[in-house]
Structure 1
Amino acid sequence: MLLLALDTATPAVTVALHDGTDVIASSSQVDARRHGELLLPAVDRVLTEAGLRLDAVTGIVVGIGPGPYTGLRVGLMTADTFGLALGVPVHGVCTLDGLAYAADIEKGPFVVATDARRKEVYWATYADSRTRLTDPAVDRPADIADRVAGLPAVGAGALLYPETFPNAHEPEHVSAAALAGLAAERLAKGEELPEPRPLYLRRPDAQVPKNYKVVTPK
């Protein structure tokens, strides 16, 4: 097994290679505006570090969000393209699950929350680092304060809103190394992973203007 994992659902552009037992190379850069520019060089850098070619990969793992439309689609389209070109399966993993897997919290429940912009967070609760209790959702922190009160939390969304998440910790962003490790565990157990389809949870920020004037040729 050689998994190439990548995620662009948060400001982190993150890539890793996993041989089924351990991460053998990884790269993470935080830049919310340069996902498309940074992702492929990161893949090349990780392969070079591992001394491997892309055609050695036997499966792709991609973070499916939730995340902003523009960044999230970069990773998903790249993963789909690699899968088609190499003829290997593409596995989805919830980005929040990757953060939970990397969290240094021995026992839950706890919360994972990422920045959804618009003064909102993407979030879910977990029983432990491998077991999600609730479906991913997007809400204003104040609207879920009662539901997450007293729970430890990880992620950039939790760190941004200490009034709702007073017990917030790192990791701030997901790592492809965590996604790959979680995927490798589940695949080794024969579990099915989600389809590589995006969890947007809301409409994209860019919208077609309403009541625009249609110009037709005379």
Structure 2
Amino acid sequence: MSVIVYEAKMRDSNAPKREEPEPSASILARRHFNGPVFLSAGFRPFFWSAGLWAVISMGIWLLVLNEYIPAPGIFDAVGWHAHEMLFGFASAAMAGFLLTAVPNWTGRLPVRGAALGGLAGIWLAGRMAILFGSYLGAALAGVIDLAFLAVFFVFIMREIIIGKNWRNLPIAVVLFVFLNANLMMHLENAGIVEADGAGWRLGIVTIIMLMSL
């Protein structure tokens, strides 16, 4: 019996050892990140912001729906609600997911620290611009709001191109369509185009497309 055990141990010792995979660049970056934990990964500020904005915007919507306050900003009540659910809440959730997933797809360092904080700040500026758009004017509020998705699209395209991660290029295409859906909603609201709600409809379609990819 002892001979059998000894031979089994010898076979195990002579067998080629399984090599553990090297940690990805994104994992190594998180290990050595010395900044605020809140800005160490894309999902942290954006998932938190998405959840918080969902609560705040629904509270505002209930006040508007029950006629306690007028519709805020540059849209009517239904338009504001649709816009903020799509291009406020959903865009933050989308950013949190993609900023976390893309580094794993490309093997590149994640967006973090000041760059991540700046991107979150642009998103927040867009929410405030839409909320107080009646004071800023439709044009300025629209530009500020559109800035987030435009900058975010550039971030994602840069990572895909530098990382040569071409198989995930459709993600960037969907994001570009989502940006244009937001633009269409602003143009329709300003009376520049007659889209019959095509902006928010296209926004819903692109979110479904992103979930199916």
The TM-score normalised by the length of structure 2 is 0.27
- TM-score computed with the length of structure 1 as normaliser: 0.26
Bigger radius of gyration: 2
Higher relative contact order (CA 8 A, sep 6+): 1
Larger % of strand: which?
A: 1
